[in-house]
Chains A and B, each alone.
Chain A
Amino acid sequence: MGNPTGWKPSMEKDAKTTTAAHAEVGAGGATRGIVHEEPLLFERGSTGRSGVSLPAAGGDFDPARELPAALLRGGVEGMPEISELEVVRHFTRMSSWNHGIDTGFYPLGSCTMKYNPKSSEALARLPGFANVHPLAPAELAQGALELMYRLERALSEIAGFDQTTLAPAAGAQGELCGLMLIRAYHQAHGNPRKKVLIPDTAHGTNPASSALNGYEVVQLSSGADGRLHPETVKAAMDEDVAAIMITNPNTLGIFESHIAEIAEIVHAKGGLVYGDGANMNALLGVARPGDMGFDVMQYNLHKTFATPHGGGGPGSGPVGVKAELAPFLPLPAVVKEGERYRLVVDPKERPQTIGKLREFWGNFGMFVRAWALIREYGPEGVAQTGKLAVLNANYLRKLLQGAYNLPYETDSLHEVVFDDKLQKAHGVTTMDVAKRLIDHGFHPPTVYFPLVVSGALMIEPTETESKETLERFAAAMKAIAEEAQADPDAVKAAPTRPFRARLDETRAARKPILRWSPGMKVE
Chain B
Amino acid sequence: MRYHPHTPEDVRAMLDAIGAESLDALFRSIPQRLRLSRPLDLPPAADEITLFSELRALSARNDTAHPPFVGAGCYAHHVPPVVDQLLLRGEFFTAYTPYQPEISQGTLQALFEWQTFVCLLTGMDVSNASMYDGATATAEAALMATRVTGRSKIVVSAAVHPEYRKVLATYLRSTGDEIATVPFGADGRTDLAALEKAVDGETAAVIVGYPSFLGVVDALPEAAAIAKRAGALTISVTAEAVALGLLQAPGALGADVAVGTFQSFGNPVSFGGPAPGFFALREQYLRQMPGRVCGATVDKHGRRGFVLTLSTREQHIRREKATSNICTNSGLCALAATIHLSLLGKKGLAELARLNYARGRMLKDALGRAGIAPVFSAPAFNEMAFDVGDAEAVVARLAKRGIAAGAPLGRWYPELPKAKGALLCVATELHTPELIELFAQSVKG
Contacts and interface: CB of A to CB of B under 8 A. Distances in A.
Contacts of B396: 137
A15 interface: no
A283 B134 CA distance: 34
Contacts of B40: 157-158, 285, 379, 382-383
A209 B129 CA distance: 20
A371 B100 CA distance: 31
A76 interface: yes
Interface string A429-453: 0000011001000011011010000
A502 B19 CA distance: 40
Contacts of A315: 328
A100 B109 contact: no
B268 A355 contact: no
Contacts of B433: 58-59
Contacts of B372: none
Given A52-B343, A102-B93, A311-B111, A503 B101 contact: yes
Interface in A82-126: 82, 84, 87-88, 90-92, 94-103, 106, 108, 111, 113-117, 119, 121-126
B105 A210 contact: no
Interface string A3-39: 0000000000000000000000000000000000010
Interface in B23-52: 23-24, 26-31, 33-36, 39-48, 51-52
B321 interface: yes
A208 B42 contact: no
Interface in B113-138: 113, 115-117, 119-121, 125-127, 129-130, 132-136
A133 B70 contact: yes
Contact of A50 (B88, B306, B344): B344
B167 interface: yes
A287 B107 contact: no
Contacts of B130: 312-313
A344 B365 CA distance: 35
B357 interface: yes
A100 B96 CA distance: 7
Chain B CB within 10 Å, residue with most, of A79, A125, A316, A374? A79
A52 B164 CA distance: 32
A63 B5 contact: no
B333 A313 contact: yes
Nearest to B26: A390
A56 to B, nearest CB: 8
Contacts of A38: 109
A366 B274 contact: yes
Contact of B271 (A213, A259, A360): A360
A57 B354 CA distance: 8
Nearest to A114: B3
User: 8 closest A-B pairs (Cβ-Cβ)?
Assistant: A102-B90, A360-B272, A378-B45, A128-B59, A134-B272, A311-B331, A143-B61, A312-B331
Interface in B337-378: 339, 341-352, 354-355, 357-359, 361-362, 365
B442 interface: no
Nearest to B96: A111
Interface in B278-326: 286, 292-307, 309-310, 312, 314-322, 324-326
B254 interface: no
A38 B110 CA distance: 11
A72 interface: yes
B48 A119 contact: yes
Interface range on chain B: under 10, 10 to 19, 20 to 34, or 35 or more?
A: 35 or more
Contacts of B43: 375, 378
Contacts of A210: 320
Given A98-B91, A505-B307, A514-B126, A139 B399 contact: yes
Given A359-B261, A495-B103, 8 more contacts: A79-B346, A158-B42, A169-B133, A173-B325, A330-B170, A388-B4, A447-B99, A504-B300
A140 B404 contact: yes
Given A59-B358, A84-B343, A134-B272, A359 B135 contact: yes
Interface stretch (B150-158, B172-180, B200-208, B227-235): B172-180
Given A358-B273, A382-B40, A113 B96 contact: yes
Interface stretch (A40-48, A230-238, A266-274, A477-485): A40-48
B68 interface: yes
B426 to A, nearest CB: 10
A96 B330 contact: no
A183 B331 CA distance: 31
Contact of B42 (A128, A154, A207): A154
Contact of A40 (B28, B112, B365): B112
B274 A214 contact: no
A72 B316 CA distance: 42
A288 B37 CA distance: 10
A136 interface: yes
B304 A522 contact: yes
Nearest to B128: A514
A513 interface: yes
Contacts of A338: none
Nearest to A40: B113
Given A131-B269, A380-B39, A183 B174 contact: yes
A102 B28 contact: no
Contact of A359 (B133, B325, B355): B133
Contact of B56 (A67, A126, A512, A523): A126
B407 interface: yes
B198 interface: no
Contacts of A208: 315, 318-320, 322, 324-325
Given A52-B344, A292-B34, A312-B329, A255 B29 contact: yes
A154 B355 CA distance: 44
Interface in B6-29: 6, 10-11, 13-15, 17-20, 23-24, 26-29
A376 interface: yes
Contact of B97 (A103, A311, A438): A311
B112 A500 contact: no
Contacts of A91: 86, 89, 92, 110, 339, 342
Contact of B305 (A283, A372, A503): A503
Contact of A515 (B59, B127, B349): B127
Nearest to B64: A131
A95 B97 CA distance: 14
Contacts of A362: 272-273
Contacts of B351: 50, 52, 54
B390 interface: no
Given A102-B90, A310-B93, A372-B51, A391 B15 contact: yes
Among B64, B95, B347, find the residue whose CB has the most chain A CB atoms closer than 10 A.
Answer: B95
Contacts of B358: 57-59, 61
Nearest to B23: A387
Contacts of A355: 166-167, 169-170, 173
A144 B271 contact: yes
A356 B26 contact: no
B361 A59 contact: yes
Nearest to B433: A58
Contact of A52 (B3, B352, B362, B365): B352
B34 A467 contact: no
A207 B404 CA distance: 43
A128 B48 CA distance: 19
Contacts of B350: 75-76
From B84, B119, B325, B361, residue with most partner A Cβ within 10 Å: B325
A170 interface: yes
A394 B26 contact: yes
A490 interface: no
Listed residue (A172, A203, A300, A413) with the most chain B CB atoms within 10 angstroms of its CB: A172
Contact of A87 (B136, B335, B339, B362): B339
Given A73-B252, A366-B274, A378-B43, A131 B76 contact: yes
Contacts of A129: 59, 62, 270-271
A515 B27 contact: no
Contacts of B332: 308-311, 313-314
